[in-house]
Structure 1
Amino acid sequence: MSMTFNPNADISSGNVSRAGGGGGGMGRGGIAVGGGGGCLLVVVALIVALMGGDPMAILGGQMGTTQDQSQVQPMDQQCATGADANANDDCLVQATVESADSVWGALAPEAGIPFAEPQAVIFSGQVNTGCGMASAAVGPFYCPADHGIYIDTSFYQELTTRFGADGGNLAKEYVIAHEYGHHIQNLEGRMDRIDHSQTGPGSDSVRLELQADCYAGVWANHATSSTDSQDQPFLQPLTSDDINSALSAATAVGDDHIQGEVAGGQVNPETWTHGSSEARRAWFTQGYGSGDPKSCNTFETAQV
C-alpha cells in the first residue's frame, strides 16, 4: 500500500470521532433505504456506489435526529500520527480531515467562503445523523444539516473489490476529500441554489458532484504543503502512482462504469446523478492542476 502521510505528522483531532453501537432496528423517524420488492437491492447497490450524493435524496429527506453523543468517542487515543494513518483506515480518515481542515481553512476565506470545520464520524453498520438514520449501505456521505461527514471504512474494500479502484491510500483519501468538498459547497450556499431533482450529464446534481471532485483535487494540490501545528507537512510529496490511485477511485464511482461494467446493465446517461468516469477524472485533475477553488465552477461550464 502506498504511504502518503508524513509519518511524523500530528493528526490529532477535535472534530473526528467514532460512533459506538450501531445495532438495533430503525425506530420511529428512521429512514429506510430503497424501495419495495425486487427494486430494493438495485437501489441499495446504486447507493453504495454513488458515494457523496445529496443526502436528502439518499436518506429520504427526513430531518431532526442526531447522533447519541454518549456513544461518540474521540479517535485521538488510537490515531496520533501520520504513521497511524498509513497503517489504519480509521486513522486515515482522521488524517485526511485534519489535512483538509488546514487546506480549506486557508483557501476558503480567500475565495470568499465563510469557513467552519465539519464534523466527521466513523461508524459501523448504521448511524444516526442530522439527516436521519443511515446504514453502511449508503456509502460515505455528507449531511448538510449537521455539517457531518460519515463513513463506514468497510466501504474501502468494496470500492476496490467490486468497483475496481486500486486500493491505494490516495484513492481512499479522495473519497473523504470529495465529501469535504460537499461541505465547502454547503458553506458557500451552493447546495441551496440548485435543482436536486435533475438528472443527466448536464444536470445540477452531476455538476454538484463534479465540483466536489474538483475540490478534492484542489485539496490534493495543497495537501503536501499544508502543515500541522508543528509545521510538519501532512502528506509526503505525491507521485504519479498516487494521483493514478485517486483517478482509479474517480473512475470506479462514475455512473457509466457502475451501470455498465459493475451492474452489467445498459448505460443510460439520462439517469446519471454523479457524472461519467471520464468527467470525474477530468474535474479532479482540473482541481489538482490549478489548486484554485475558482477553477471548479462546474455550473458556468456549457459541458461537464
Structure 2
Amino acid sequence: MRFNPKARIDQGQVEVRRGGGGGGFGGGTGGGGGRLPIPTGGKGGLGIGGIILVVLVYVAIQFLGGGGGGGGTGSSGATGEQTTNECRTGEDANSSDACAIDLFTTSVQDFWDRAYPDQTGEAYQQIKTVRFEGSTQSGCGQASSEMGPFYCPNDQLVYLDTTFFDDMLRGRLGAQGGPFAIGYVIAHEYGHHVEDLQGDLGRIRTQQGADSDAVRVELKADCLAGMWARSATRTRDQDGQTIISDLTQDDIERAIDAAEAVGDDRIQQRSSGRVDTDSFTHGSAAQRVKWFNIGLEQGSLEACDTFSAGRL
C-alpha cells in the first residue's frame, strides 16, 4: 500500500514525547511490582498483545496486560516531555513508520467519525495517540517499549513506541510486517476506545481463559480493526484528500499475518513449546484472524459483538 503523498496528518490527534529513562514496569496507577497493566475497565491498559514481552522475555512469570518515536528535543525525565512532531504528510508516512502511525491515526479516526454515529446514533469522541521513545507516564502506569502498544481507558489515550514493529512484531514474533500491519495495530487499539465508548470494558469479569471476557474484548477489537480495513481506502484527511491508496490483497494478508502473530497460542508455543488455553488473555491466532475477517467482510458493530457470540 501507499499513502497519498498529499494527505495531511492531523497533528492534533498525535502527541510525540521524548521518553524518560529507566524503562521497567513500576509506577503509576496500573504498574508497580513488576506488573504490566491488567486489562480491565478500571485500572490498566489493553494492548494488541500485552502478554507478548512477558512471555518471550520474562517467561518465568505470567502477566496480563496491554514501539523510534518522534525526534526533537525534550527532557529525559521519568514521565517524558512533549516534543515537536515533524511528520506532516503522506509523503512523510511513506518513508517513516513513526509518520505512518500518525497518518493511520488520522485514517482510523476519520472512519469512526463517520461509522460510529451511523451505527449507534451517537457521536464518536476523538482521542490521541501518544508516540514516545524510551518510556513515559500514562494513566495506567509507566509505558515503555517493552509493553507494546496499548489503550489506557483511564486517560483515553493510545500509547506506543515504534520500536515495537521492528523489534517485536517483525523481530521476535516473526510477522511479515509492512505498512498495513502497522495500520492493523493502530486500528486494534482504537477498537478498544470504541469498546470503551460502548461500555464493554466495564463488562470484564473474567481475565483469563479461552472464553473469558478479556479474550472477548480483544477479539472484538480485532473485528473493529477489520471494519476500518474494509473502508480504509475511503478515509480522508481534513482537506478531503484520500489517505490510503494502492491497497492490495497482499496488504490485507500482512495485517492478518500480524493478527496471527499475536495470538496467545502462537506466543506460548514460541516461548515455552506448549499451549495453555486456561491462561489465554487475547485469543488464539485462528480466533484473531476469524474476527478480523468478520469485521472486514460484514463491516458492522452488530457483527462484531463477541459478548453475544456463543462460540468465539
* Residues 209 and 25 (structure 1), Cα distance of their counterparts in 2 relative to 1, 3 Å cut: closer
SS at match of 1:17: strand
Does 2:189 align with 1:179? Answer: yes
Alignment partner, residue 63 of structure 1: none
Alignment partner, residue 80 of structure 1: 88
> 1:156-198 CA deviation, whole Å, 9 max, x = no partner?
0121121011021111111111001001111111101221x33
> 1:230-266 CA deviation, whole Å, 9 max, x = no partner?
2211111421100010011001000000001x21321
Alignment partner, residue 32 of structure 2: 32
Quote how far apart the aligned CAs of 1:17 are.
Answer: 1.4
Alignment partner, residue 294 of structure 2: 286
Q: 1:137 aligns with which of 146, 149, 155?
A: 146
> 1:190-227 CA deviation, whole Å, 9 max, x = no partner?
101221x3311111111100000000011111110111
Runs of at least 4 residues off by over 4 Å: 24-30, 67-70
Q: For 1:113-152, list aligned pairs within 5 A.
A: 113-152=122-161
Q: Which runs of 5+ in 2 are unaligned?
A: 36-50, 58-62, 67-76
Does 2:17 align with 1:8? Answer: no
8 Å CA contact retained: 2:55, 2:267: no
Alignment partner, residue 38 of structure 1: none
Cα distance in 2 for residues equivalent to 1:161 and 1:70: 26
Quote how far apart the aligned CAs of 1:33 are.
Answer: 6.3
Quote how far apart the aligned CAs of 1:82 are.
Answer: 1.1
Cα distance in 2 for residues equivalent to 1:173 and 1:229: 19
- The RMSD of aligned alpha carbons is 2.4
Does 2:183 align with 1:156? Answer: no
8 Å CA contact retained: 2:113, 2:123: no
Q: Which runs of 5+ in 1 are unaligned?
A: 36-42, 50-54, 60-66
- Give the TM-score normalised by the residue count of structure 2: 0.82
Alignment partner, residue 58 of structure 1: 65
Q: For 1:196-275, list aligned pairs within 5 A.
A: 197-260=206-269, 262-275=270-283
Cα distance in 1 for residues equivalent to 2:78 and 2:143: 14
* Residues 48 and 182 (structure 1), Cα distance of their counterparts in 2 relative to 1, 3 Å cut: farther
Q: What percent of counterpart residues are identical?
A: 41
Quote how far apart the aligned CAs of 1:74 are.
Answer: 4.7
Alignment partner, residue 64 of structure 1: none
* Residues 82 and 198 (structure 1), Cα distance of their counterparts in 2 relative to 1, 3 Å cut: same
Counterpart code for 1:296: C
Alignment partner, residue 39 of structure 1: none
Counterpart code for 1:201: A
Quote how far apart the aligned CAs of 1:86 are.
Answer: 1.6
Q: 1:191 aligns with which of 183, 201, 208?
A: 201
Cα distance in 1 for residues equivalent to 2:203 and 2:163: 33
SS at match of 1:14: helix
8 Å CA contact retained: 1:102, 1:226: yes
8 Å CA contact retained: 2:17, 2:81: yes
Cα distance in 2 for residues equivalent to 1:139 and 1:47: 12
